[in-house]
Chain A
Amino acid sequence: MSYAYLFKYIIIGDTGVGKSCLLLQFTDKRFQPVHDLTIGVEFGARMITIDGKQIKLQIWDTAGQEAFRSITRSYYRGAAGALLVYDITRRETFNHLTTWLEDARQHSNSNMVIMLIGNKSDLDSRREVKKEEGEAFAREHGLVFMETSARTAANVEEAFINTAKEIYEKIQEGVFDINNEANGIKIGQQHSPTNPSLPGSGGAAGAANSGCC
Chain B
Amino acid sequence: MFRSRSWFGGPWGGRPKNRLSLDHLKYLYSILEKNTTVSESNRGLLVESLRCIAEILIWGDQHDSLVFDFFLEKNMLSYFLHIMRQKSGGSSFVCVQLLQTLNILFENIRNETSLYYLLSNNHVNSIMVHKFDFSDEDVMGYYILFLKTLSLKLNTHTIHFFYNEHTNDFPLYTEAIKFFNHPESMVRIAVRTISLNVYKVQNSSMLRFIRDKTAAPYFSNLVWFIGKHILELDTCVRTDIDHQSNQKLSNLVAEHLDHLHYLSDILLLDIKDLNAVLTEHLLHKLFVPLYIFSLTPAPPPPSLALVTQNLAAVLNRNVDIDIQEMHNPRVSSIVALYLLSLVFLVVSHAPLVHALAWVILNGDHSVFKEGAAEILNSYVEHREVVVPGFGEPNESLEQALDTVTGQSSVSSYALSEDSGVESSSPATTEVDAQAEVDAATKLRNITDEEKELLQKSSGSGKADFGELAKPFLDTVLQALDCTENDYLALLSLCLIYAMSHNRGIKNEWFEQVLSKSTRGSFSYKTALIEHLLNIITQSSQPSCRIRLITVEIALELLVTFTKPSSDEARCITTGQQDLLFSARNQSMLVLRNFYKSEDIFLDLFEDEYNEMKKAQLNVEFLCMDSAILLPPTGTPLTGINFTRRLPCGEVEKARRAIRVYFLLRRTCQKFLNERESLLPLTNVVTLVQVDNTLDLNNSDLIACTVVAKDNTKQRRFLVIDALQLILVEPDAKLLGWGVAKFVGFLQDVEVQGDKDDSRCLHITVHRGGVTHNRTPLLSAKFLFDDHIRCMAAKQRLTKGRSKARQKKMYQIAQLIEIPGQMDSPVYAVGGTTAAPSGSSSGSSSRSGHHRPIFSTANRVPGFAAVLRNSNTAGVSRTQMAQNRSIEGIRNESAGRSRRRSPNGTTLRADPSDRDRSPSVSAGSHSSSQSRENSQPRSSGNRSRESSPRMPRPRSEEIPLEDFQHSRNNSPHSRGNASPASRSHTPVRVLQYEISVHSGSPREPSLVGTNALLSQLNGVPLAREVLPVQSSEETSFIGNDATDGGGGSDSRRKGAIETV
Chain A residues, CB < 8 A from B980: none
Q: Which of A27-35, A122-130, A137-145, A165-173 interfaces with chain B? A: A27-35
Q: Any chain A CB within 8 A of the CB of B724?
A: no
Contact pick for A74, options B51, B178, B189, CB 8 Å? B189
Q: Any chain A CB within 8 A of the CB of B308?
A: no
Query: In the complex the two chains form, is A77's CB within 8 Å of B254's CB?
Result: yes
A204 touching B193 in the complex, CB below 8 Å, given contacts A64-B152, A69-B261? no
A61 → chain B, closest Cβ, in Å?
A: 9
Q: Which of B221-229, B820-828, B886-894, B983-991 interfaces with chain A? A: B221-229
Contact pick for B20, options A37, A77, A212, CB 8 Å? A37
Chain B residues, CB < 8 A from A177: 247
Q: In B43-92, which residues have CB < 8 Å from any A CB? A: 48, 51, 54-55, 58-59, 62
Query: In the complex the two chains form, is A20's CB within 8 Å of B107's CB?
Result: yes
Query: In the complex the two chains form, is B55's CB within 8 Å of A68's CB?
Result: no
Chain A residues, CB < 8 A from B229: 203-204, 207
B991 → chain A, closest Cβ, in Å?
A: 36
Q: How far is the CA of A20 from the CA of B149 in the complex (A)?
A: 13
Query: In the complex the two chains form, is B193's CB within 8 Å of A211's CB?
Result: no
Q: In A41-74, which residues have CB < 8 Å from any B CB? A: 41-45, 58, 60, 64-65, 67-71, 73-74
A70 touching B51 in the complex, CB below 8 Å, given contacts A28-B100, A177-B247? no
Query: In the complex the two chains form, is A201's CB within 8 Å of B183's CB?
Result: yes
Query: In the complex the two chains form, is A211's CB within 8 Å of B103's CB?
Result: no
Query: In the complex the two chains form, is A40's CB within 8 Å of B107's CB?
Result: yes
B734 → chain A, closest Cβ, in Å?
A: 37
Q: Any chain A CB within 8 A of the CB of B104?
A: yes
Contact pick for B182, options A6, A38, A208, CB 8 Å? A208
Q: Any chain B CB within 8 A of the CB of A39?
A: yes
Q: Any chain B CB within 8 A of the CB of A75?
A: yes
Question: Mask for A190-213, Cβ within 8 A of B = 1, else 0?
Answer: 000001111001111101110111
A195 → chain B, closest Cβ, in Å?
A: 8
Contact pick for A211, options B54, B55, B149, B225, CB 8 Å? B225
Contact pick for A180, options B137, B183, B248, B257, CB 8 Å? B248
Chain A residues, CB < 8 A from B265: 68-71
Q: Any chain B CB within 8 A of the CB of A78?
A: yes
Query: In the complex the two chains form, is B107's CB within 8 Å of A70's CB?
Result: no
A196 touching B51 in the complex, CB below 8 Å, given contacts A20-B107, A43-B145, A208-B181? no
Q: Any chain B CB within 8 A of the CB of A120?
A: no
Q: In A68-100, which residues have CB < 8 Å from any B CB? A: 68-71, 73-75, 77-78
Query: In the complex the two chains form, is A70's CB within 8 Å of B262's CB?
Result: yes
A183 → chain B, closest Cβ, in Å?
A: 8
Chain A residues, CB < 8 A from B100: 28, 41, 44
Identify the closest chain A residue to B264 (Cβ): A70
Identify the closest chain A residue to B186 (Cβ): A60
Query: In the complex the two chains form, is A42's CB within 8 Å of B185's CB?
Result: no
A38 touching B185 in the complex, CB below 8 Å, given contacts A70-B258, A196-B136, A212-B179? no
B515 → chain A, closest Cβ, in Å?
A: 35
Chain B residues, CB < 8 A from A41: 100, 103-104, 107, 145
Chain A residues, CB < 8 A from B264: 69-70
Chain B residues, CB < 8 A from A205: 183
Query: In the complex the two chains form, is B137's CB within 8 Å of A196's CB?
Result: yes
Query: In the complex the two chains form, is A75's CB within 8 Å of B189's CB?
Result: yes
A212 touching B181 in the complex, CB below 8 Å, given contacts A20-B107, A43-B145, A69-B265? yes
Q: Any chain B CB within 8 A of the CB of A154?
A: no
B239 → chain A, closest Cβ, in Å?
A: 12
Q: Any chain A CB within 8 A of the CB of B975?
A: no
A213 → chain B, closest Cβ, in Å?
A: 8
Contact pick for B103, options A37, A43, A67, A73, CB 8 Å? A43
Of A44, A69, A71, A202, the most chain B CB neighbours within 10 A belong to A71
A203 → chain B, closest Cβ, in Å?
A: 4
Q: Any chain A CB within 8 A of the CB of B135?
A: yes
A70 touching B254 in the complex, CB below 8 Å, given contacts A45-B141, A64-B152? no
Q: Any chain A CB within 8 A of the CB of B397?
A: yes
Q: Any chain B CB within 8 A of the CB of A8?
A: yes
Query: In the complex the two chains form, is A196's CB within 8 Å of B108's CB?
Result: no
Q: How far is the CA of A143 from the CA of B94 in the complex (A)?
A: 38
A137 → chain B, closest Cβ, in Å?
A: 18
Q: Any chain A CB within 8 A of the CB of B810?
A: no
Q: Any chain B CB within 8 A of the CB of A187?
A: no
Query: In the complex the two chains form, is A74's CB within 8 Å of B225's CB?
Result: no
Chain A residues, CB < 8 A from B181: 204, 207-208, 211-212
Q: Any chain B CB within 8 A of the CB of A182?
A: yes
Q: How far is the CA of A41 from the CA of B252 in the complex (A)?
A: 31
B587 → chain A, closest Cβ, in Å?
A: 33
Query: In the complex the two chains form, is B108's CB within 8 Å of A58's CB?
Result: no
Question: Mask for B696-728, Cβ within 8 A of A = 1, else 0?
Answer: 000000000000000000000000000000000
Q: How far is the CA of A38 from the CA of B62 in the complex (A)?
A: 10
Q: How far is the CA of A207 from the CA of B236 in the complex (A)?
A: 15
Chain B residues, CB < 8 A from A70: 192, 196, 258, 261-262, 264-265
Identify the closest chain A residue to B99 (Cβ): A43
Chain B residues, CB < 8 A from A211: 181, 221, 224-225, 228, 396-397
Contact pick for B186, options A8, A28, A31, A198, CB 8 Å? A8
Q: In B115-152, which residues have CB < 8 Å from any A CB? A: 135-138, 141-142, 145, 148-149, 152
Q: Any chain A CB within 8 A of the CB of B364?
A: no
Q: Any chain A CB within 8 A of the CB of B398?
A: yes
Chain A residues, CB < 8 A from B258: 70, 73-74, 77
Chain A residues, CB < 8 A from B232: 203, 207
Question: Mask for B381-409, Cβ within 8 A of A = 1, else 0?
Answer: 00000000000000011100000000000
Query: In the complex the two chains form, is B193's CB within 8 Å of A65's CB?
Result: yes
Chain A residues, CB < 8 A from B396: 211-212
Chain A residues, CB < 8 A from B182: 208, 212
Contact pick for A39, options B58, B200, B262, CB 8 Å? B58
Query: In the complex the two chains form, is A212's CB within 8 Å of B142's CB?
Result: no
Q: Any chain A CB within 8 A of the CB of B251?
A: yes
A158 → chain B, closest Cβ, in Å?
A: 24
Question: Mask for B334-358, Cβ within 8 A of A = 1, else 0?
Answer: 0000000000000000000000000
Q: Any chain A CB within 8 A of the CB of B417?
A: no
Q: Any chain A CB within 8 A of the CB of B255?
A: yes
Identify the closest chain A residue to B181 (Cβ): A208
Contact pick for B398, options A69, A74, A201, A212, CB 8 Å? A212
Query: In the complex the two chains form, is B183's CB within 8 Å of A208's CB?
Result: yes
Q: Any chain A CB within 8 A of the CB of B472?
A: no
Query: In the complex the two chains form, is B178's CB within 8 Å of A212's CB?
Result: yes
Q: How far is the CA of A197 from the CA of B232 in the complex (A)?
A: 21
Chain A residues, CB < 8 A from B55: 31, 37, 39
Q: Any chain A CB within 8 A of the CB of B180?
A: yes
Q: How far is the CA of A115 from the CA of B446 in the complex (A)?
A: 62
Q: How far is the CA of A38 from the CA of B55 in the complex (A)?
A: 9
Q: How far is the CA of A207 from the CA of B198 in the complex (A)?
A: 26
A45 → chain B, closest Cβ, in Å?
A: 5
Identify the closest chain A residue to B143 (Cβ): A43
Name the 9 nearest CB pairs between A and B, nearest first.
A70-B261, A205-B183, A208-B181, A70-B262, A182-B251, A43-B145, A78-B185, A74-B258, A203-B232
Provide 24 A-B residue pairs closer than 8 Å at the C-beta atoms, listed in order of the A residue. A34-B20, A37-B58, A38-B108, A40-B108, A41-B107, A44-B100, A45-B141, A60-B141, A60-B186, A64-B152, A64-B193, A70-B261, A70-B264, A71-B196, A73-B261, A77-B254, A182-B185, A182-B251, A182-B255, A196-B137, A202-B251, A208-B182, A211-B228, A212-B398
Known pairs A41-B145, A43-B103, A197-B135 / 10 extra A-B pairs, C-beta < 8 Å? A31-B51, A40-B104, A41-B100, A43-B142, A43-B145, A67-B196, A177-B247, A198-B184, A211-B181, A211-B221
* Chain B residues in the interface with A (C-beta under 8 A): 19-20, 48, 51, 54-55, 58-59, 62, 100, 103-104, 107-108, 135-138, 141-142, 145, 148-149, 152, 178-186, 188-189, 192-193, 196, 200, 221, 224-225, 228-229, 232, 247-248, 251-252, 254-255, 257-258, 261-262, 264-265, 396-398
